[in-house]
Chains A and B, each alone.
Chain A
Amino acid sequence: MSVTYLEAIREAQARLLREDERVFIYGQDIAGKFGGAFKATKGLAEQFPGRVLNTPISEDAMVGTAIGAAMEGMRPIVEMQFADFSSIALNQILNNAGTHYYRTSVPVPITVRLPSGGTKGSGPFHSQSMEGLYSHYPGLVVVTPATVEDAYTMLIDAVQIDDPVVYCEHKYLYYHLKAEALPDDKLPIGKARIVRPGRDLSIVTYSAMVHEALGVANELSPDGWEVEVVDLRSVKPLDTDTVLASVARTGKLLCVGEAFPWGGVTAEVVARVASEGFHLLDAAPARVNAKDTPIPYHPNLWSEHRPNKSSIAAKARQILAE
């Protein structure tokens, strides 16, 4: 048996629906035989009548409705058709869900699933990575699973957490990534993972970029460089301890993210390491991000807009040479 990243998301939702009567899924085109733009809910509406509900194209109201249901004790999962469209729901996510517990002591356990990140030909409005934006605001947990196993366990955890969770699933990984089976054990949300140990450089990253970083680590290995790859898993909370421990081993930090370059997760990691682990560093910490333009449509442009193996490897070699 093998399970894809997408199937893991579907299986996690099936299990949640089966085991927790408070769970329902709310989103566009997710019900019926259709099962969602990416089929993440395929078959679930038939299996769980009345609990996988199609919505109008109303991202603001979809999240608002989920917030209300969560106040009443439900555990709604909102599927955004693409992360990009969650901009319409920013207000509900940031200002309603994100403030509610602090203001009223009543938590809002919603999970918003964001099909994130670039794929070939998707262009400016179907490719975005919004984890940095959501992490900037208080009151939200933001997770970015990079593996089939994490896609599964972190979605289950997300729904069980009493606070709002933005679950950023990477579209590129949907079909590309396979595992032997669904996992039995898990690392909790809030803990980063060393996916490849090394001693010369720490590449700290998350989501699809974990796989690019692993590729770079393999590429540099024949030259004698041992690159450590840290998968953040959740970007908020950010596991600073694991990152610092890695930098303590390697003395060098490269942080890679697929989002736009101004601020964001990579800047946050670099800032924390620079201020809390300055003495650990043997070279200036560096970042590789996407370019500061909208995400281009054509593959020739897109593949250079996002961080890729060659841009990450080039930056890595530059730091290693210092």
Chain B
Amino acid sequence: MLETAERGASSSTKAPPHERYLEAFRWMLTARVLEEKLASLYRGGMIVGGVYLGRGQEAISAACGMFLDKSKGDLFAPLIRDQAGRSAFGEPLLDVVRTYLGSAKGPMRGRDGNIHRGRPREGQLAMISHLGAMISVLVGRLMAKRMRGEKGFVGLTTIGEGGMQTGATHEGMNIAAVEQVPLVVVATNNHYAYSTPNDREFACAALVDRAKAYGYEGATVDGTDLAACLDVIGGAVKRARAGRPPQLVVAEILRLAGHGEHDDASYVAPEIKKESFAQDALQRAEKLILDEGLLGREGLQQMRAQIAAEVDAAVATAQQEDAPHASEEDWSALSTRELADQFA
């Protein structure tokens, strides 16, 4: 397993493979610990609206964030289950917690919530709900960078197998290939789109076959295997950066939570939970770390405690902050204030 990680690592940065693996694991654990906290805040009635967890998807997501480099001008358009990747890309924990708690100090200032957050000027796009809509937006940003003469940047976006079936996804993936932008699309088949299983989502033999149809280079990966994720996604990012056609990576996992925390996922078939793609990527990585001696139990516990402290600190900060006040809101959807329509 580490051999694969080594190939992935040497293909992107110079960090020794075990360090890279541990770094990725740290982002996975960060996401897991943070999301456990968010879920408990939700159960405690402290979060309005939904809470969407990436449980089970952390290895893929961490790998998505880790190979992107803001200093190279890289862009990340994450979706619902990308906490690990967002953190790896540099999203502060406070951004997450502030958005979920609706703090006026958060990047969305209470105007949008939960996963619909980002810092577009810092390279992280703020998704809209409509699945597939962010692909072409990312393509446009990449095109504009090229028009301005920038070089060496890539964009990565994620999508679920459900979102793969929208018209917007089709148009976005196609136009990316027409424009030949340095794009990586990481599609995670977690076997359910909300409650809908694969057989009511698509009828092709394998989603990755679409890579060829769009003029992409395609790869598949076991999303429960962190080393493989680093290898395959790292490789795809490297190829896109080197000027290869857009890249499609299709990962397979099982969603290990409800669609959102409101959902008990009782529709998930018991048999599917026995499939190998139903393993918990985090537990798998933890086991490997112990088996290979990358860290001992104590080291792992320390890491978890450290992350938990960071998460608690972020929550404590955000909880003390003011919620947005309707009386202080300027209620203008236009930056050009004088063009805002006036309603008596």
Interfacial residues, chain A to chain B (CB-CB below 8 A): 24, 50, 55-56, 58-74, 76, 88, 91-92, 95-96, 98-104, 106-107, 138-139, 141, 161-163, 189-190, 236-238, 240, 272, 275-276
State whether A68 touches B333 (Cβ < 8 A). Answer: no
Q: Which residues of B contact A99 (CB under 8 A)?
A: 112, 128, 333
Between A24, A65, A138, the greatest number of chain B beta carbons within 10 A of the residue's beta carbon is seen for A65
Residues of B contacting A272 in the complex (Cβ-Cβ under 8 angstroms): 344
Complex Cα distance A91/B169, Å?
13
CB-based contact A64/B339 at 8 Å: no
For the complex, what is the distance from the CA of A104 to the CA of B122, rounded to whole Å?
Answer: 12
Q: How far is the CA of A91 from the CA of B142 in the complex (A)?
A: 21
Give every chain A residue within 8 A of B14 (Cβ-Cβ). Answer: none
Contact flags (1/0) for B110-124 with A, using CB distance below 8 Å? 011000101111000
Which B residues are within 8 Å of any A CB, using their own CB? Answer: 107-108, 111-112, 116, 118-121, 126, 128-130, 133-145, 147-148, 167-168, 171-172, 174-175, 178-179, 332-336, 338-342, 344
How many angstroms from the CA of A190 to the CA of B337 in the assembled complex? 12
Pair B335/A68 contact, Cβ less than 8 Å: no
Closest Cβ–Cβ distance, residue A248 to chain B (whole Å): 16
Q: Are B333 and A102 in contact (CB under 8 A)?
A: yes
Interface contact tally, CB-CB below 8 A: 151
- On whether the beta carbons of A64 and B135 are closer than 8 Å, the reply is yes
Listed A/B pairs (30) with beta-carbon separation below 8 Å: A24-B147, A56-B171, A58-B171, A60-B136, A61-B136, A62-B175, A64-B133, A65-B140, A65-B175, A67-B137, A68-B141, A68-B144, A69-B140, A69-B143, A69-B147, A71-B141, A72-B144, A72-B145, A92-B133, A95-B129, A96-B128, A96-B130, A101-B335, A102-B333, A104-B118, A104-B119, A106-B121, A141-B339, A161-B339, A237-B340
Judge whether A189 and B334 touch: CB under 8 Å: no
The interface residues of chain B lying within 8 Å CB-to-CB of A138 are: 333
Contacts of A55 in B (CB 8 A): 175, 178
| Complex: A62 Cα to B174 Cα, angstroms | 11
* Seed contacts A67-B140, A276-B344; 7 additional CB < 8 Å A-B pairs: A61-B139, A62-B136, A64-B168, A69-B143, A96-B133, A103-B116, A189-B339
Question: Are A65 and B136 in contact (CB-based, < 8 A)?
Answer: yes
A68-B141, A103-B108, A276-B344 as given contacts; A95 in contact with B128, CB under 8 Å = yes
Q: Quick check: B344 and A161 within 8 Å, CB to CB?
A: no
Most B Cβ at <10 Å: residue of A50, A69, A99: A69
| Pairwise interchain contact B138-A161, C-beta atoms closer than 8 A | no
CB pair B174 A56 closer than 8 Å: yes
Which A-chain residue is minimally distant from B107 (CB atoms)? A104
Let me know if B333 and A101 touch, CB within 8 A.
yes
Q: Specify which of A58, A68, A73, A238 is in contact with B142 (CB 8 Å cutoff).
A: A68
